[in-house]
Structure 1
Amino acid sequence: MDENAPSAKAEHHAFQAEVSRLLHLMVHSVYSNKDIFLRELVSNAADACEKLRYLALSEPDMLAGDETLAITIESDEVGRRLSVLDTGVGMSREEMIDNLGTIARSGTRAFLDGLSEAKDGGALIGRFGVGFYAAFMVADNVRVVSRKAGADEAFAWMSDGKGEFTVEPVGLADAPLRGARVELHLAEDAADYAKEATVERVIREYSAHVPMPIRIRSVGGEARAVTDGSALWMKPKSAVTPEEYKEFYGTVADAFDEPALTVHYRAEGRHEYSVLVFVPTQKPFDLFDPARKGRLKLYVRRVFITDEATILPGWLRFVRGVIDSEDLPLNISREMLQTNPILEAIGRNVTNRVLGDLAKLADTDTANFERVLETFGP
């Protein structure tokens, strides 16, 4: 008997019609990279932790029993299972049905119609909060066990993604103390995601800077930290050492030289975002290669989105680093960005700031500026 099979107490629910369509469209057309499913689950887990942190400001008792806000990913290569656990706000029975069975957003039908007609889901923009369903790209069965912060009951949500889901009460011994555990039984062609090394690779690439520490462990093994929940670009300039800047530049630019110019600031006002970008000393060997992968990385709330968005003009293609937006709208897959006025405004601001700092460099360090001009100038 399947240990995750619904019990006699399970309530059976049909997916909202739009969810069924979404599952089909996401798996078949929207996501070009299956790694994205883990980014989405980690992002959701981080959001749940952030929500609890905010609620606990006015209701400290919600953290009773465990003040730790963290994400743990457990892999079971033999059982072909992967679980993402968080100590966030958790979900009640009603919230499971609402959040995991329906998409209660205005304009959803038109959105899905447009998505089905588009050649690539990246043509549409909008925060629809549907990243959870990306789990079905790699899993033939998904189970979510959750206990809402402050509650004395827990529930399990289960589905194979083929039309319906079940929700049932579970014993507290089978539930996290608080938060949620998303359990995936991986399909045969996705078995690689049950390997700890694969999990670590994906986390380091896509979720290294989410604002919660992430640990990974194999079943029966000890958990080890992969990220510490901090992002260098979120720190004030006064708190960052030259060595930290140099190390981060080497990582983000995949370079071994030292940056000629470091631009680090936070913009607040109509749009909020953080910037940490560098002008290299040496010309990258593939600077003019049209197939070159970008080195200007776009994040939203510490979650990596893409390094292929056109943010700065072509004549600043040598700039490397990170731009992290707090409020940028994203497309359904978070893989591609449509021409967007917010991103355009950010690009103009960063361009002006880089040019302004280069002008200052010309006054304060003429030799360094002339080297930049010789390397990247006309």
Structure 2
Amino acid sequence: MTQTIHKETREFQAETKQLLDLMIHSIYTNKEIFLRELISNASDAIDKIKFESLTNQDLLEGDSNFEIFLIPDENTKTLTISDNGIGMTYDEVVENIGTIAKSGTKSFFEKLKEKETTTDNELIGQFGVGFYSAFMVSDKVTLITRAPGQEKGVKWESNGDGTYTIEECDKEKRGTTIIITLKEDFHAPSRPEENFLERYTIENLIKKYSDYIRYPIKMSFIKEEQPLDAEGKEIEDAPAAETVEIRTLNSMTPLWTRSKNELTKEEYQLFYKDLFHEWEDPMEYIHSKAEGTV
């Protein structure tokens, strides 16, 4: 029998507190990139279990349909990002979320001083602090995760005040779920471009930043259809019937299958960064197409 770990409150290390303060007080202008960072983390988690399952199929627990799922909820003002990747144990959550490697943090703050010549995108991704970008748009972040083979999951929660709570919890499926309770500024209907509960805003951000992610990024849409009569014609006065439609938001289409003429410089750069897990733009790129047999 495993020992139950009760809920406890811990403090972030000093460097993490400083980073959270920077995120919360918004040094970054391009706040929408938080979604790109969290989806990139989810993709990495799936990469990891896919690789490790090559030598241990039991890790999959019967679930090999890898995907990332987004759930915007108007009632709770939350945006949820879920994956069925490798997940984390209790100790891994403390190590990976509660702290940041000091060497990486030091480099981050050194680069921050040179921000005039460094973009938001480079800073956040380059030093492995992408998870914390969620605090730019949230009042509270909740993480629920379970590693394969573990009886219990782990629930981590913080409102960015320098402390976090961590406890065991029940979680049926392996993987990680991040629930972002959005600040009021980021679910205002009057500003659809920064309303991260607006499904079409989310869809556009996925196409902009995460279209080349190798796994399907899915989200449900409410579809309204007018009832039809016996002749197949719409019944005008009848209330529309609502159905739920699950859509895949990213194309998962490699650049080499598309025409050179329809691609932009930004698409080449984003594809390179995602494929090779790099944060700098490529020095140069060449697009060529050849046909024949090998």
TM-score (normalised: structure 2): 0.77
The answer for the alignment partner of 2:276 in structure 1 is 326
Contact 1:75 1:218 (C-alpha < 8 Å) held by counterparts: no
Q: Is 1:90 matched with 2:93?
A: no
Q: Any stretches of 5+ residues in structure 1 without a counterpart?
A: 1-7, 235-239, 254-293, 304-324, 331-336, 338-342, 358-378
User: 3-state SS of the aligned residue for 2:106?
Assistant: helix
- Select which of 223, 234, 247 maps to 1:224: 247
CA shift for structure 1 position 117? 6.0
The 3 A distance-change label for structure 1 pair 301 and 64 is farther
Contact 2:153 2:168 (C-alpha < 8 Å) held by counterparts: yes
Matches of 1:119 and 1:27, distance apart in 2: 20
The 3 A distance-change label for structure 1 pair 99 and 121 is farther
Deviations 1:163-193 (A, max 9, x none): 011111112xxx2501010001111001111
The answer for the alignment partner of 1:179 in structure 2 is 175
Matches of 1:74 and 1:176, distance apart in 2: 18
Q: How many residues align?
A: 257
CA shift for structure 1 position 121? 5.0
Contact 1:207 1:302 (C-alpha < 8 Å) held by counterparts: no
Q: Which amino acid aligns with 2:212?
A: H
Contact 2:272 2:278 (C-alpha < 8 Å) held by counterparts: no
- Select which of 217, 233, 245 maps to 2:255: 233
Contact 1:214 1:225 (C-alpha < 8 Å) held by counterparts: yes
CA shift for structure 1 position 217? 2.0
Matches of 1:23 and 1:79, distance apart in 2: 23
The 3 A distance-change label for structure 1 pair 90 and 296 is closer
Q: Which amino acid aligns with 2:249?
A: V
In the TM superposition, what are the counterparts of 1:142-181 in structure 2 within 5 Å? Answer: 142-171=141-170, 175-181=171-177
Contact 1:74 1:218 (C-alpha < 8 Å) held by counterparts: no
User: 3-state SS of the aligned residue for 1:211?
Assistant: coil
Deviations 1:246-280 (A, max 9, x none): 4x844x35xxxxxxxxxxxxxxxxxxxxxxxxxxx
Contact 1:148 1:179 (C-alpha < 8 Å) held by counterparts: yes
Q: Quote the RMSD (CA, aligned, Å).
A: 2.9
Matches of 1:48 and 1:227, distance apart in 2: 18
The 3 A distance-change label for structure 1 pair 10 and 327 is closer
The answer for the alignment partner of 1:298 in structure 2 is 269
TM-score (normalised: structure 1): 0.61
CA shift for structure 1 position 106? 2.4
- Select which of 186, 190, 211 maps to 2:186: 190
Matches of 1:176 and 1:222, distance apart in 2: 24
User: 3-state SS of the aligned residue for 2:126?
Assistant: coil
Using CA pairs under 8 Å that are at least 6 residues apart, name the structure with larger relative contact order, 1 or 2. 2
The answer for the alignment partner of 1:80 in structure 2 is 77
CA shift for structure 1 position 194? 1.2
Contact 1:30 1:121 (C-alpha < 8 Å) held by counterparts: no
User: 3-state SS of the aligned residue for 1:103?
Assistant: coil
Matches of 1:30 and 1:150, distance apart in 2: 40
The 3 A distance-change label for structure 1 pair 168 and 221 is farther
The answer for the alignment partner of 2:190 in structure 1 is none
User: 3-state SS of the aligned residue for 2:204?
Assistant: helix
The structure having more radius of gyration, on CA atoms, is 1
Matches of 1:12 and 1:21, distance apart in 2: 19
User: 3-state SS of the aligned residue for 1:227?
Assistant: coil
Q: Is 1:103 matched with 2:100?
A: yes
